[in-house]
Structures are given as structure tokens and as C-alpha cells.
Amino acid sequence: MEWLGHANIKFLHSPTPLILSKKDGTTTDLAKICEESTPPCQLNPFLFNGHAQTMMTAVKNDGPPVFYKRKIFDAEDPMYEGTFAVDFVVPPNTDVDDSLPIRTTYFSEKEFDGIASLDTRPMLVTLHGLSGGSYEIYLKHVLFPLIQEHETEQWEACVVNSRGCAMHKITSSILYNARATWDCRQTVKWLRKKFPNRPLFGIGFSLGANILTNYVAEEGDKCELKAAVVISNPWNLESGSLALQRTWLGREIYSKTMGGNMKRLLALHHDEVSKNPKLDFEKINNVQYLHEFDREVQGPTWGYPTEGAYYRDASSTDSLFSVKIPFFAINAEDDPIASKEALPYQEVQKNPYTVLCTTSLGGHLSWFELGGGRWHSRPAINFLNNMAFNVKLPAPAVANGEERFGRNHVSEFIPMRRKLVYRSE
């Protein structure tokens, strides 16, 4: 029963969740780790539903004081040419760069040349939400506690900024989309070479959660991440878009706000994106809602005939079938953006590597507690610490005595055989 902000918590997972060995010699399973990592969800009672919680995110402050230094990477894949920005968490400093978000500066060449390390600290790869960046408060509530100095438990972290976001000037005629896994993939490969002894983990928020889920699934059992958390993943993008259009609040508040944010992002990079002959800026200027932006920008850019085709192809629901690392998903059932009807209730029960935690309250990337804390940070941090420090890594390739999920399973359904095929002209 919900009362005074106390949300109900539910877990969905396979009947035979992944077996994990702990460092103390005992065994457990993924479902137990997720449940043990999740504290009671007691939210601010004055923010009594998903709309109130979500709208509270519009009240901006600096959030936890996380400091970054930025490195610009050249894309290695010629199919996705251009550059992208990765912000690495660094110790507090007084450096200032007005061209970048708060507490963010560029690495000097000398600093970056010396970044490599043989240490064994766990490292978190972070993906932000739609049109956001490393400055977002919701992700800093997770990063800040992890990077604090502890006797044995300290993390390193970085944020992969989607192209054009976080004051990064793009150098190609495209932004990014909900299937844009290539920059995450290149970053992970680079981290593996630069920090060969660090176990790598992933966390994604909203659209970044969708991208991270797709990335993990595309990598399958070759994924370099040891475990991942996704928060407020919209999952089924077509279902979510239709839900937004169904109500006045969804259409005129959320969809219009997100569509406006993406139009402004596109305008910031007009000089580059205007070189894309597939874009009709007369039509784009008339865009109001997010689905209209996706129709006029994402569709033509990536070759999708409709926004629905884009949504169906980029959605991460079916990707869950190909996930082969411990994977913890957290969603609020009153989320007005990542709607309840789009949640993968059945899919997570088919894969021993996945667990879905739902709360009856919380909104979208919100979960505000009394005092300004964000509840989602606590299960995420607890899960990551459990996987990094209490569980033997790599995780065993056995799920309840059976061979790794999907290894010998013969099926006509191949979840990561996407419809969109990239090719050179």
C-alpha cells in the first residue's frame, strides 16, 4: 500500500536467475543481489505522482560537485565519421573553461598522455539521457558517491556524451539516435587497452539506457562490461511515443519540451548538419513535438521511412534476449515518459542475466526524496559495489547448472539482426 511517498517495489526475473560466486566462498544469484541492493523507496510525499516527480527535474541546481576533464575522440568507423566527447571524472580542481559545462575542462596533451594505469579500480562508463550530458544531476547522484575516497572501494568513471551534446561541437552532418552504440563501443575498447586491469561496468539513463541495452546485446557474450544498470529506459519507443501523444500533458508538456530541446540542439550545429542533403529545414522549422523531430530528422538521416520504423528498429526490448552480462533495470511505473505499457515484463523473465525492478512511484529520472536525494542512485550504487567488490569476476558462464543462455539454443528469432543495414555508397 502506498502512503506518504512510500512506493511499492517489485522484481521480475527468470525463474532460474544467473548463479554468482561470491568472494567469501558462498554462492548467490543475480535476483538476490538486485533485491539485496535495493532499499525501501520512500519518496518526497509532496511529489505525490509521476508528473510531480518528473516536473521537479526542471528545478535546476549544480548537483553533486563532480569534476571532469574532456577528451575529443575521432571516430574510428568511417561509417560514423566525426568526433565525440568523453568526460572523465577527475579530482576537484580550480580549472575553468567557459566553453564547457560546469566543472569541466579539457585535458592537456601531457595530462592525457599519462592517463594510462595498471590499477584494478572498477571503472564506470556512463550514458546520459536525450539531449543531456555529463553535467546532468541525475547521473551525478550516482557518480559522486562512487568516486569518493574509501579505504578499499573507489571507482573511476567517464561519461560518453552523445554527439552534439554537452557543448561539444560536432564535426559531421549527423547527431545521434537511439541505436547510436558506436561511440560507446569505441570508448569501451579504448578503456580496455588503456586500463587493462580495470573491470568495466556500464550505466545508462533514459535514452542512454536504451543505447546501453542495445550495445550490451550487440556485444553478446563478448561484451567487455562486467555488469550494467539501466534507469528509466523507455524500452519500446513506438509504444512510448503513442502514449505521449495520447494525453494533453504527454503531448503539450513532455513531447513538446523534448522536441524543442532537440530542435535547439540541431540549431546549435546548423553549420554542420545543414550539409546533410537529406534534411529539409523548412519542415524541421515547423516541428513542435518529439515524434515530429524524429520524423523529419532521424528518419531521413538514417534512412527510416517513418518515425515508427525508426522506433521499432531502435527499441531495446528485444535486445534483452541477447544480454549476456548481469543486467539490472530500474523503472517507475508512473513514469510519464517511459510509460508502464512499454516495460519489458515478459522479456526479462526469459533471460537469466536480466532483472527488472519497478517502483509504483518515481516519475522519469526523478525519485526525489525529502532533502533532495534521488532514490535511484542507491540501488544502482549498491548493485555496482556488490558486483565489483563482493562477486567474483568475471561472472561464471553458467545459469543454474545450464550452459550459458542461448549458446546452443536453435531459434529462428535472432534479436540483434536489425533491419537497418549500414553500407557505403
Catalytic positions are: 206, 335, 364
Orientation of helix 377-385 relative to helix 30-37, angle to 10°: 130
Tell me the three state secondary structure of residue 415: coil
Contacts of 222 (CB under 8 A, 6+ apart): none
Orientation of helix 237-246 relative to helix 307-314, angle to 10°: 130
CB 306 within 8 A of CB 299: yes
Distance CA 48, CA 144 (A): 27
Chain centre to alpha carbon of residue 71:
20
- Is-cis flag, bond preceding 39, omega within 30? no
Contacts of 137 (CB under 8 A, 6+ apart): 57, 60, 61, 62, 63, 64, 374
Q: Which helix (H) or strand (E) holds 145?
A: helix 137-147
Tell me the three state secondary structure of residue 309: helix
Amino acid at 45: P
Nearest Cα neighbor of 132 from 185, 63, 201 is: 63
**Adjacent-strand bridge partners of 157:** 124
Q: What distance, in Å, lies between the first and last C-alpha atoms of the chain?
A: 58
CB 391 within 8 A of CB 23: yes
Three-state DSSP string of 41-92: EECCCCCCCHHHHHHHHHCCCCCCCCEEEEEEEECCCHHHCCEEEEEEEECC
Buried b (16+ CB within 10 A) or exposed e, 32-51: bbbeebbeebebbeebeebb
Distance CA 57, CA 54 (A): 6
Q: How far is CA 370 from CA 6, 8, 45, 377, in A?
A: 12, 17, 8, 14
Q: What is the DSSP string of 375-392?
A: TTHHHHHHHHHIIIIIB-
